Structure 1
Amino acid sequence: MAYATYELHGQRRVGRVDGDRLIPLAGVEELGLHTDVGTLAHAHELPGESVAVDDVYLCPVVPAPDKIVCVGLNYLTHVGETGRDLPTYPVFFTKFASSLLGPRDDLVLPPESSQVDYEAELAVVIGRPGRRIPRERALDHVLGYTVANDVTMRDYQYKTHQWLQGKAWDHSTPLGPYLVTPGEADLSAAGIRTVVSGEKLQESDLSKLIFDIPALISTVSEFTTLLPGDVLLTGTPGGVGYRREPQRLLADGDVVTVEVDGVGSLTTRVRREP
Protein backbone atom coordinates (compact mmCIF):
# COMPACT_ATOMS: atom_id res chain seq x y z
CA MET A 1 0.00 0.00 0.00
CA ALA A 2 0.97 3.63 -0.36
CA TYR A 3 0.08 6.61 1.81
CA ALA A 4 0.34 10.40 1.65
CA THR A 5 0.22 13.22 4.15
CA TYR A 6 -1.94 16.00 2.70
CA GLU A 7 -3.76 19.21 3.55
CA LEU A 8 -7.24 20.26 2.48
CA HIS A 9 -9.03 23.40 3.72
CA GLY A 10 -6.37 23.88 6.38
CA GLN A 11 -6.75 20.37 7.79
CA ARG A 12 -3.90 17.87 7.65
CA ARG A 13 -4.66 14.18 7.16
CA VAL A 14 -3.14 10.90 6.03
CA GLY A 15 -4.73 9.07 3.14
CA ARG A 16 -4.23 5.70 1.49
CA VAL A 17 -3.51 6.09 -2.20
CA ASP A 18 -6.25 4.57 -4.35
CA GLY A 19 -5.43 5.39 -7.96
CA ASP A 20 -5.83 9.14 -8.32
CA ARG A 21 -7.66 9.49 -5.00
CA LEU A 22 -6.76 9.50 -1.31
CA ILE A 23 -8.88 7.67 1.25
CA PRO A 24 -8.34 9.33 4.64
CA LEU A 25 -7.53 7.38 7.79
CA ALA A 26 -9.65 8.17 10.83
CA GLY A 27 -7.74 10.02 13.53
CA VAL A 28 -4.40 10.11 11.69
CA GLU A 29 -3.25 13.67 10.97
CA GLU A 30 0.23 13.05 9.56
CA LEU A 31 2.90 10.42 9.14
CA GLY A 32 5.45 10.92 11.88
CA LEU A 33 6.30 10.30 15.50
CA HIS A 34 2.81 9.05 16.40
CA THR A 35 2.37 6.88 13.31
CA ASP A 36 4.01 3.51 13.77
CA VAL A 37 3.62 0.23 11.92
CA GLY A 38 0.55 -0.69 13.96
CA THR A 39 -1.17 2.63 13.33
CA LEU A 40 -1.22 2.14 9.58
CA ALA A 41 -2.08 -1.54 9.81
CA HIS A 42 -5.14 -0.98 11.99
CA ALA A 43 -6.36 2.48 10.95
CA HIS A 44 -10.02 2.78 9.97
CA GLU A 45 -10.51 4.15 6.46
CA LEU A 46 -13.15 6.74 5.57
CA PRO A 47 -14.00 6.03 1.90
CA GLY A 48 -16.91 8.45 1.99
CA GLU A 49 -14.42 11.31 2.51
CA SER A 50 -12.00 10.39 -0.29
CA VAL A 51 -10.48 13.25 -2.27
CA ALA A 52 -8.67 13.60 -5.58
CA VAL A 53 -4.89 13.84 -5.31
CA ASP A 54 -4.98 16.87 -7.61
CA ASP A 55 -7.33 18.70 -5.22
CA VAL A 56 -5.05 18.65 -2.17
CA TYR A 57 -1.68 19.98 -1.09
CA LEU A 58 0.80 17.11 -0.72
CA CYS A 59 3.07 17.61 2.28
CA PRO A 60 6.51 16.05 2.62
CA VAL A 61 5.67 12.41 3.36
CA VAL A 62 6.82 12.97 6.95
CA PRO A 63 6.31 16.69 7.60
CA ALA A 64 8.07 16.91 10.98
CA PRO A 65 10.44 14.00 11.68
CA ASP A 66 12.34 13.94 14.93
CA LYS A 67 15.51 13.09 12.98
CA ILE A 68 16.69 13.14 9.37
CA VAL A 69 19.94 11.16 9.09
CA CYS A 70 21.64 11.12 5.69
CA VAL A 71 24.44 9.04 4.24
CA GLY A 72 27.11 10.38 1.92
CA LEU A 73 29.41 8.38 -0.35
CA ASN A 74 27.27 5.22 -0.42
CA TYR A 75 27.67 4.23 -4.09
CA LEU A 76 31.00 3.27 -5.63
CA THR A 77 30.34 5.53 -8.63
CA HIS A 78 29.84 8.55 -6.39
CA VAL A 79 32.91 7.75 -4.29
CA GLY A 80 34.89 7.45 -7.51
CA GLU A 81 33.79 10.76 -8.96
CA THR A 82 34.67 12.60 -5.73
CA GLY A 83 38.17 11.09 -5.64
CA ARG A 84 37.72 9.99 -2.02
CA ASP A 85 38.77 6.74 -0.38
CA LEU A 86 36.20 3.97 -0.04
CA PRO A 87 34.52 4.45 3.36
CA THR A 88 34.73 1.66 5.92
CA TYR A 89 32.03 3.29 8.08
CA PRO A 90 29.02 5.24 6.76
CA VAL A 91 29.51 8.98 6.29
CA PHE A 92 26.59 10.52 8.20
CA PHE A 93 25.19 14.03 8.28
CA THR A 94 21.84 15.45 9.36
CA LYS A 95 19.10 17.72 8.13
CA PHE A 96 16.30 19.50 9.95
CA ALA A 97 12.56 19.18 9.48
CA SER A 98 12.66 22.71 8.04
CA SER A 99 14.90 21.36 5.27
CA LEU A 100 12.01 19.39 3.77
CA LEU A 101 10.01 20.44 0.73
CA GLY A 102 6.64 19.14 -0.45
CA PRO A 103 6.71 16.81 -3.47
CA ARG A 104 4.94 19.33 -5.69
CA ASP A 105 6.54 22.49 -4.32
CA ASP A 106 9.00 24.53 -6.36
CA LEU A 107 12.66 24.48 -5.38
CA VAL A 108 13.60 28.13 -4.93
CA LEU A 109 17.26 28.80 -5.62
CA PRO A 110 18.68 30.97 -2.82
CA PRO A 111 20.53 34.15 -3.85
CA GLU A 112 23.50 33.22 -1.63
CA SER A 113 24.41 30.05 -3.54
CA SER A 114 25.46 29.67 -7.17
CA GLN A 115 26.14 25.91 -7.03
CA VAL A 116 22.87 24.13 -6.32
CA ASP A 117 23.01 20.41 -7.14
CA TYR A 118 20.64 17.42 -7.35
CA GLU A 119 21.05 14.02 -5.65
CA ALA A 120 18.62 11.13 -6.20
CA GLU A 121 18.07 9.08 -3.06
CA LEU A 122 15.89 6.37 -1.59
CA ALA A 123 14.49 7.47 1.78
CA VAL A 124 13.63 5.00 4.54
CA VAL A 125 10.96 5.95 7.09
CA ILE A 126 11.15 4.30 10.50
CA GLY A 127 7.96 2.78 11.92
CA ARG A 128 9.03 1.17 15.18
CA PRO A 129 11.33 2.66 17.84
CA GLY A 130 14.61 0.98 18.59
CA ARG A 131 18.10 1.36 19.96
CA ARG A 132 21.03 -0.94 19.10
CA ILE A 133 18.91 -2.75 16.53
CA PRO A 134 20.51 -5.98 15.27
CA ARG A 135 20.99 -6.09 11.52
CA GLU A 136 18.79 -9.16 11.22
CA ARG A 137 15.84 -7.31 12.80
CA ALA A 138 16.43 -3.94 11.15
CA LEU A 139 13.77 -4.23 8.44
CA ASP A 140 11.13 -4.91 11.13
CA HIS A 141 11.56 -1.24 12.09
CA VAL A 142 10.71 0.14 8.63
CA LEU A 143 7.38 1.87 8.08
CA GLY A 144 8.01 2.35 4.38
CA TYR A 145 10.02 3.96 1.62
CA THR A 146 9.81 7.15 -0.38
CA VAL A 147 11.85 9.25 -2.79
CA ALA A 148 14.12 12.15 -1.86
CA ASN A 149 16.21 14.71 -3.69
CA ASP A 150 19.13 15.64 -1.44
CA VAL A 151 19.57 19.07 -2.97
CA THR A 152 22.97 20.45 -2.00
CA MET A 153 24.45 23.94 -2.10
CA ARG A 154 27.98 22.87 -3.07
CA ASP A 155 29.66 26.22 -2.49
CA TYR A 156 28.32 26.16 1.08
CA GLN A 157 28.99 22.45 1.59
CA TYR A 158 32.71 22.92 0.96
CA LYS A 159 33.18 26.01 3.11
CA THR A 160 34.32 23.60 5.85
CA HIS A 161 35.07 19.91 6.32
CA GLN A 162 31.58 19.54 7.79
CA TRP A 163 28.69 19.49 5.31
CA LEU A 164 25.84 20.84 7.42
CA GLN A 165 25.61 24.34 5.91
CA GLY A 166 25.35 22.95 2.37
CA LYS A 167 22.91 20.16 3.17
CA ALA A 168 20.40 21.59 5.63
CA TRP A 169 19.15 24.66 3.75
CA ASP A 170 15.53 25.53 4.54
CA HIS A 171 12.92 24.14 2.11
CA SER A 172 15.49 22.41 -0.07
CA THR A 173 14.87 18.65 0.20
CA PRO A 174 11.83 17.35 -1.71
CA LEU A 175 10.40 14.21 -0.08
CA GLY A 176 7.59 12.11 -1.50
CA PRO A 177 5.13 11.93 -3.04
CA TYR A 178 4.03 8.73 -1.26
CA LEU A 179 5.14 6.34 1.45
CA VAL A 180 5.23 2.82 -0.01
CA THR A 181 4.97 0.01 2.54
CA PRO A 182 7.75 -2.61 2.59
CA GLY A 183 5.73 -5.41 1.02
CA GLU A 184 4.91 -3.34 -2.04
CA ALA A 185 8.39 -2.89 -3.53
CA ASP A 186 11.32 -5.15 -4.30
CA LEU A 187 14.29 -2.95 -3.54
CA SER A 188 17.00 -5.59 -4.00
CA ALA A 189 17.98 -4.14 -7.39
CA ALA A 190 15.48 -1.32 -7.94
CA GLY A 191 16.63 1.33 -10.39
CA ILE A 192 17.30 4.89 -9.26
CA ARG A 193 17.79 7.84 -11.62
CA THR A 194 17.67 11.61 -12.07
CA VAL A 195 16.44 13.43 -15.17
CA VAL A 196 17.00 17.19 -15.39
CA SER A 197 15.05 19.03 -18.10
CA GLY A 198 14.88 15.90 -20.23
CA GLU A 199 18.52 14.80 -19.75
CA LYS A 200 19.26 11.64 -17.73
CA LEU A 201 22.15 12.53 -15.43
CA GLN A 202 22.13 9.78 -12.79
CA GLU A 203 21.27 6.09 -13.10
CA SER A 204 22.11 3.12 -10.90
CA ASP A 205 20.31 0.54 -8.77
CA LEU A 206 19.99 -0.14 -5.07
CA SER A 207 22.10 -3.31 -5.25
CA LYS A 208 25.06 -0.94 -5.62
CA LEU A 209 24.71 0.52 -2.12
CA ILE A 210 27.96 0.14 -0.19
CA PHE A 211 26.07 0.05 3.13
CA ASP A 212 22.63 -1.50 2.66
CA ILE A 213 19.45 -0.54 4.48
CA PRO A 214 19.76 -3.04 7.38
CA ALA A 215 23.36 -1.94 7.94
CA LEU A 216 22.38 1.73 8.03
CA ILE A 217 19.51 1.18 10.47
CA SER A 218 21.67 -0.94 12.75
CA THR A 219 24.59 1.51 12.66
CA VAL A 220 22.53 4.65 13.28
CA SER A 221 20.67 3.00 16.15
CA GLU A 222 23.98 2.31 17.90
CA PHE A 223 24.34 6.00 18.76
CA THR A 224 20.75 7.30 18.77
CA THR A 225 17.28 5.89 19.35
CA LEU A 226 15.34 5.65 16.11
CA LEU A 227 11.73 6.79 16.45
CA PRO A 228 8.66 6.39 14.24
CA GLY A 229 8.79 9.01 11.51
CA ASP A 230 12.56 9.33 11.49
CA VAL A 231 13.91 9.51 7.93
CA LEU A 232 17.13 7.94 6.62
CA LEU A 233 18.46 9.13 3.26
CA THR A 234 20.57 6.32 1.85
CA GLY A 235 22.97 8.12 -0.49
CA THR A 236 23.19 9.10 -4.14
CA PRO A 237 24.85 7.41 -7.13
CA GLY A 238 27.43 8.98 -9.42
CA GLY A 239 26.51 11.67 -11.91
CA VAL A 240 25.93 14.65 -9.63
CA GLY A 241 26.12 17.97 -11.43
CA TYR A 242 29.06 19.39 -9.48
CA ARG A 243 31.34 16.52 -10.56
CA ARG A 244 30.40 16.50 -14.24
CA GLU A 245 32.58 18.00 -17.00
CA PRO A 246 31.28 20.56 -17.66
CA GLN A 247 29.35 21.04 -14.44
CA ARG A 248 25.55 20.79 -14.65
CA LEU A 249 24.16 22.76 -11.73
CA LEU A 250 20.50 23.63 -11.29
CA ALA A 251 19.19 26.80 -12.91
CA ASP A 252 16.00 28.79 -13.10
CA GLY A 253 13.44 26.89 -15.19
CA ASP A 254 14.90 23.40 -14.74
CA VAL A 255 12.59 20.48 -14.04
CA VAL A 256 14.17 17.73 -11.92
CA THR A 257 12.67 14.23 -11.74
CA VAL A 258 14.04 11.66 -9.30
CA GLU A 259 12.76 8.11 -9.64
CA VAL A 260 13.12 4.92 -7.61
CA ASP A 261 11.52 1.94 -9.31
CA GLY A 262 8.65 0.55 -7.27
CA VAL A 263 8.68 3.52 -4.90
CA GLY A 264 7.78 6.55 -6.94
CA SER A 265 8.67 9.54 -9.05
CA LEU A 266 9.33 12.98 -7.60
CA THR A 267 9.29 16.00 -9.93
CA THR A 268 10.39 19.45 -8.80
CA ARG A 269 10.43 22.72 -10.74
CA VAL A 270 13.32 25.06 -10.09
CA ARG A 271 13.01 28.83 -9.94
CA ARG A 272 15.24 31.66 -8.87
CA GLU A 273 14.27 33.55 -5.73
CA PRO A 274 13.15 37.06 -6.70
Structure 2
Amino acid sequence: MITSIPDLKEQIDNYLAKFLPQDIDQDTLRNSMEYSVMAGGKRLRPALTLATVELLGGTINEDILRVATALELLHTYSLIHDDLPAMDNDALRRGKPTNHCKFGAGMATLAGDGLLTLAFQWVTDNNLSADIRSRLAFELAKAAGPAGMVAGQARDIEGEHQRLSLEQLRYLHRQKTGALIQYAVLAGGIIMDQPAKVQQELAAFGANYGLAFQIYDDLMDVLGTTEQMGKAVHKDAAEQKNTYPGLLGVDGAKKQLHNALIAATQSQRQLEKLTSKSFAGYDEFLAYFK
Protein backbone atom coordinates (compact mmCIF):
# COMPACT_ATOMS: atom_id res chain seq x y z
CA MET A 1 0.00 0.00 0.00
CA ILE A 2 1.30 3.44 -0.97
CA THR A 3 1.53 6.07 1.76
CA SER A 4 -0.90 8.97 1.30
CA ILE A 5 0.41 12.49 0.66
CA PRO A 6 -0.71 13.76 4.11
CA ASP A 7 1.14 10.87 5.79
CA LEU A 8 4.25 11.50 3.67
CA LYS A 9 4.08 15.18 4.62
CA GLU A 10 3.93 14.23 8.30
CA GLN A 11 7.03 12.05 7.96
CA ILE A 12 8.87 14.86 6.17
CA ASP A 13 7.84 17.48 8.75
CA ASN A 14 8.90 15.24 11.63
CA TYR A 15 12.29 14.52 10.06
CA LEU A 16 12.96 18.20 9.39
CA ALA A 17 11.94 19.23 12.91
CA LYS A 18 14.21 16.61 14.46
CA PHE A 19 17.35 16.82 12.35
CA LEU A 20 17.57 20.36 10.97
CA PRO A 21 18.61 22.00 14.28
CA GLN A 22 21.39 19.44 14.77
CA ASP A 23 23.41 20.74 11.81
CA ILE A 24 23.30 24.50 12.49
CA ASP A 25 25.91 26.04 14.78
CA GLN A 26 24.70 29.62 15.30
CA ASP A 27 21.54 30.57 17.15
CA THR A 28 20.18 33.38 14.97
CA LEU A 29 21.04 31.49 11.81
CA ARG A 30 19.26 28.42 13.20
CA ASN A 31 16.17 30.46 14.01
CA SER A 32 16.15 31.99 10.54
CA MET A 33 16.59 28.66 8.75
CA GLU A 34 14.00 26.90 10.90
CA TYR A 35 11.57 29.79 10.50
CA SER A 36 11.27 29.28 6.75
CA VAL A 37 11.65 25.50 6.61
CA MET A 38 9.02 24.90 9.30
CA ALA A 39 6.62 27.60 8.08
CA GLY A 40 4.49 24.98 6.36
CA GLY A 41 4.24 24.21 2.68
CA LYS A 42 2.97 21.22 0.76
CA ARG A 43 6.30 19.29 0.87
CA LEU A 44 5.41 18.28 -2.69
CA ARG A 45 8.96 17.69 -3.92
CA PRO A 46 10.18 15.30 -1.20
CA ALA A 47 6.76 13.62 -1.22
CA LEU A 48 7.19 12.90 -4.95
CA THR A 49 10.56 11.27 -4.26
CA LEU A 50 9.18 9.11 -1.44
CA ALA A 51 6.08 8.13 -3.42
CA THR A 52 8.21 7.14 -6.40
CA VAL A 53 10.36 4.92 -4.19
CA GLU A 54 7.22 3.18 -2.90
CA LEU A 55 5.67 2.86 -6.36
CA LEU A 56 8.84 1.10 -7.51
CA GLY A 57 8.56 -1.38 -4.64
CA GLY A 58 10.85 0.27 -2.10
CA THR A 59 10.34 0.97 1.59
CA ILE A 60 10.95 4.38 3.14
CA ASN A 61 13.70 4.40 5.75
CA GLU A 62 15.71 7.14 7.48
CA ASP A 63 18.37 7.27 4.74
CA ILE A 64 15.76 7.76 2.02
CA LEU A 65 13.95 10.35 4.15
CA ARG A 66 17.22 12.24 4.52
CA VAL A 67 17.78 12.35 0.77
CA ALA A 68 14.18 13.36 0.07
CA THR A 69 14.02 16.09 2.71
CA ALA A 70 17.28 17.54 1.40
CA LEU A 71 15.26 18.71 -1.58
CA GLU A 72 12.92 20.64 0.74
CA LEU A 73 15.94 22.42 2.21
CA LEU A 74 17.09 23.44 -1.26
CA HIS A 75 13.58 24.48 -2.33
CA THR A 76 13.23 26.65 0.79
CA TYR A 77 16.57 28.33 0.07
CA SER A 78 15.24 29.28 -3.35
CA LEU A 79 12.08 30.80 -1.80
CA ILE A 80 14.06 32.85 0.74
CA HIS A 81 16.32 34.26 -1.96
CA ASP A 82 13.43 34.78 -4.38
CA ASP A 83 11.63 36.91 -1.77
CA LEU A 84 14.64 39.19 -1.09
CA PRO A 85 14.41 42.93 -1.88
CA ALA A 86 16.91 42.49 -4.71
CA MET A 87 14.68 39.86 -6.32
CA ASP A 88 10.86 39.89 -5.95
CA ASN A 89 10.79 41.91 -2.70
CA ASP A 90 7.87 39.93 -1.28
CA ALA A 91 6.58 40.53 2.24
CA LEU A 92 4.47 37.37 2.66
CA ARG A 93 5.28 33.67 2.20
CA ARG A 94 3.14 30.76 3.39
CA GLY A 95 0.93 33.21 5.22
CA LYS A 96 3.79 34.64 7.32
CA PRO A 97 6.25 37.53 6.94
CA THR A 98 9.08 36.58 4.61
CA ASN A 99 12.45 35.70 6.11
CA HIS A 100 14.11 39.03 5.33
CA CYS A 101 11.18 40.93 6.86
CA LYS A 102 11.73 39.09 10.13
CA PHE A 103 15.50 38.61 10.24
CA GLY A 104 16.86 41.21 7.81
CA ALA A 105 18.19 40.75 4.29
CA GLY A 106 21.69 39.76 5.41
CA MET A 107 20.60 36.96 7.75
CA ALA A 108 17.98 35.79 5.24
CA THR A 109 20.67 35.51 2.58
CA LEU A 110 22.82 33.45 4.95
CA ALA A 111 19.84 31.25 5.86
CA GLY A 112 19.36 30.50 2.17
CA ASP A 113 23.08 29.82 1.76
CA GLY A 114 22.97 27.47 4.75
CA LEU A 115 19.99 25.53 3.43
CA LEU A 116 21.52 25.17 -0.03
CA THR A 117 24.77 23.74 1.27
CA LEU A 118 23.10 21.59 3.93
CA ALA A 119 20.97 20.00 1.22
CA PHE A 120 24.08 18.55 -0.41
CA GLN A 121 25.38 17.45 2.97
CA TRP A 122 22.21 15.42 3.54
CA VAL A 123 22.26 13.94 0.03
CA THR A 124 25.76 12.58 0.62
CA ASP A 125 25.70 11.94 4.41
CA ASN A 126 23.63 8.74 4.53
CA ASN A 127 24.01 4.99 4.13
CA LEU A 128 22.90 4.67 0.49
CA SER A 129 25.55 3.30 -1.85
CA ALA A 130 28.35 5.60 -2.99
CA ASP A 131 27.17 5.34 -6.61
CA ILE A 132 23.62 6.38 -5.71
CA ARG A 133 24.80 9.26 -3.50
CA SER A 134 27.10 10.51 -6.25
CA ARG A 135 24.39 10.38 -8.90
CA LEU A 136 21.86 12.13 -6.65
CA ALA A 137 24.31 14.94 -5.86
CA PHE A 138 25.18 15.34 -9.54
CA GLU A 139 21.56 15.46 -10.71
CA LEU A 140 20.52 17.82 -7.91
CA ALA A 141 23.39 20.18 -8.75
CA LYS A 142 22.31 20.22 -12.41
CA ALA A 143 18.65 20.79 -11.53
CA ALA A 144 19.38 23.60 -9.07
CA GLY A 145 22.32 25.26 -10.78
CA PRO A 146 23.17 27.58 -13.67
CA ALA A 147 21.66 25.29 -16.30
CA GLY A 148 18.56 24.64 -14.19
CA MET A 149 16.67 26.63 -11.57
CA VAL A 150 19.19 29.48 -11.31
CA ALA A 151 19.16 29.91 -15.08
CA GLY A 152 15.37 30.04 -14.98
CA GLN A 153 15.50 32.76 -12.33
CA ALA A 154 17.95 34.72 -14.49
CA ARG A 155 15.64 34.39 -17.51
CA ASP A 156 12.75 35.57 -15.32
CA ILE A 157 14.65 38.72 -14.30
CA GLU A 158 15.74 39.54 -17.85
CA GLY A 159 12.27 38.77 -19.19
CA GLU A 160 10.55 41.48 -17.15
CA HIS A 161 9.09 44.20 -19.37
CA GLN A 162 9.59 41.93 -22.40
CA ARG A 163 6.98 39.76 -24.06
CA LEU A 164 8.30 36.22 -24.38
CA SER A 165 6.99 33.70 -26.89
CA LEU A 166 5.19 30.61 -25.62
CA GLU A 167 8.27 28.50 -26.29
CA GLN A 168 10.51 30.96 -24.42
CA LEU A 169 8.09 31.00 -21.50
CA ARG A 170 7.90 27.21 -21.43
CA TYR A 171 11.70 27.00 -21.43
CA LEU A 172 11.96 29.53 -18.60
CA HIS A 173 9.52 27.59 -16.43
CA ARG A 174 11.10 24.25 -17.33
CA GLN A 175 14.22 25.58 -15.62
CA LYS A 176 12.82 27.82 -12.88
CA THR A 177 10.19 25.43 -11.49
CA GLY A 178 10.27 22.23 -13.50
CA ALA A 179 13.92 21.27 -12.96
CA LEU A 180 13.57 20.60 -9.22
CA ILE A 181 10.28 18.75 -9.64
CA GLN A 182 11.76 16.66 -12.42
CA TYR A 183 14.68 15.84 -10.11
CA ALA A 184 12.27 14.93 -7.30
CA VAL A 185 10.71 12.17 -9.40
CA LEU A 186 13.98 11.05 -10.97
CA ALA A 187 15.58 10.78 -7.52
CA GLY A 188 13.16 8.00 -6.63
CA GLY A 189 14.32 6.05 -9.65
CA ILE A 190 17.97 6.65 -8.83
CA ILE A 191 17.47 5.47 -5.24
CA MET A 192 15.78 2.33 -6.55
CA ASP A 193 18.54 1.81 -9.16
CA GLN A 194 16.13 1.65 -12.08
CA PRO A 195 17.12 1.02 -15.71
CA ALA A 196 17.85 4.04 -17.91
CA LYS A 197 14.51 3.83 -19.78
CA VAL A 198 12.56 3.91 -16.52
CA GLN A 199 14.59 6.84 -15.24
CA GLN A 200 14.00 8.71 -18.50
CA GLU A 201 10.24 8.21 -18.20
CA LEU A 202 10.28 9.25 -14.55
CA ALA A 203 12.09 12.44 -15.60
CA ALA A 204 9.47 13.01 -18.32
CA PHE A 205 6.64 12.65 -15.80
CA GLY A 206 8.41 15.07 -13.46
CA ALA A 207 9.02 17.61 -16.24
CA ASN A 208 5.37 17.62 -17.31
CA TYR A 209 4.17 17.70 -13.72
CA GLY A 210 6.50 20.63 -13.03
CA LEU A 211 5.15 22.51 -16.04
CA ALA A 212 1.58 21.89 -14.87
CA PHE A 213 2.52 23.12 -11.40
CA GLN A 214 3.88 26.42 -12.74
CA ILE A 215 0.92 27.04 -15.04
CA TYR A 216 -1.43 26.36 -12.13
CA ASP A 217 0.55 28.77 -9.93
CA ASP A 218 0.30 31.42 -12.65
CA LEU A 219 -3.45 30.89 -12.84
CA MET A 220 -3.88 31.10 -9.09
CA ASP A 221 -2.07 34.44 -9.07
CA VAL A 222 -4.95 35.67 -11.21
CA LEU A 223 -7.84 33.64 -9.81
CA GLY A 224 -6.78 32.90 -6.22
CA THR A 225 -6.72 34.88 -2.99
CA THR A 226 -3.94 35.75 -0.56
CA GLU A 227 -5.58 33.45 1.99
CA GLN A 228 -5.55 30.51 -0.46
CA MET A 229 -1.98 31.06 -1.64
CA GLY A 230 -0.32 32.26 1.56
CA LYS A 231 1.40 35.02 -0.45
CA ALA A 232 0.46 38.16 -2.33
CA VAL A 233 -1.55 37.60 -5.51
CA HIS A 234 -2.11 39.70 -8.65
CA LYS A 235 1.59 40.68 -8.53
CA ASP A 236 2.66 39.09 -11.81
CA ALA A 237 0.70 41.45 -14.05
CA ALA A 238 1.60 44.50 -11.97
CA GLU A 239 5.31 43.66 -12.23
CA GLN A 240 4.98 42.77 -15.93
CA LYS A 241 6.14 39.19 -15.37
CA ASN A 242 5.80 36.67 -18.15
CA THR A 243 3.04 34.22 -17.23
CA TYR A 244 0.73 31.83 -19.06
CA PRO A 245 -2.44 33.89 -18.36
CA GLY A 246 -0.59 37.06 -19.35
CA LEU A 247 0.47 35.54 -22.66
CA LEU A 248 -2.53 33.33 -23.48
CA GLY A 249 -5.35 34.56 -21.26
CA VAL A 250 -6.98 32.45 -18.56
CA ASP A 251 -8.65 30.05 -20.99
CA GLY A 252 -5.46 29.59 -22.97
CA ALA A 253 -3.48 28.93 -19.79
CA LYS A 254 -6.07 26.36 -18.69
CA LYS A 255 -5.65 24.60 -22.04
CA GLN A 256 -1.87 24.48 -21.58
CA LEU A 257 -2.40 23.07 -18.07
CA HIS A 258 -4.66 20.39 -19.53
CA ASN A 259 -2.04 19.50 -22.15
CA ALA A 260 0.72 19.20 -19.52
CA LEU A 261 -1.44 16.90 -17.40
CA ILE A 262 -2.22 14.70 -20.42
CA ALA A 263 1.52 14.39 -21.11
CA ALA A 264 2.17 13.50 -17.45
CA THR A 265 -0.54 10.85 -17.57
CA GLN A 266 0.98 9.37 -20.71
CA SER A 267 4.32 9.02 -18.89
CA GLN A 268 2.49 7.46 -15.97
CA ARG A 269 1.01 4.78 -18.28
CA GLN A 270 4.37 4.21 -19.95
CA LEU A 271 5.99 3.65 -16.56
CA GLU A 272 3.41 0.96 -15.83
CA LYS A 273 4.33 -0.79 -19.08
CA LEU A 274 8.08 -0.55 -18.42
CA THR A 275 7.95 -1.75 -14.81
CA SER A 276 4.80 -3.94 -14.72
CA LYS A 277 3.82 -1.99 -11.61
CA SER A 278 0.86 0.28 -10.87
CA PHE A 279 1.60 3.99 -10.79
CA ALA A 280 -1.92 4.90 -9.70
CA GLY A 281 -0.25 6.48 -6.66
CA TYR A 282 0.61 9.46 -8.86
CA ASP A 283 -3.13 10.16 -9.23
CA GLU A 284 -3.16 11.77 -5.79
CA PHE A 285 -0.50 14.23 -6.97
CA LEU A 286 -2.31 14.93 -10.23
CA ALA A 287 -5.50 15.66 -8.26
CA TYR A 288 -3.77 18.78 -6.87
CA PHE A 289 -4.79 20.61 -10.04
CA LYS A 290 -8.49 19.75 -9.89
- Tell me, yes or no, whether TM beats 0.5: no
Higher relative contact order (CA 8 A, sep 6+): 1
Larger fraction in helix = 2
Larger fraction in strand = 1
Relative to the length of structure 2, the TM-score reads 0.24
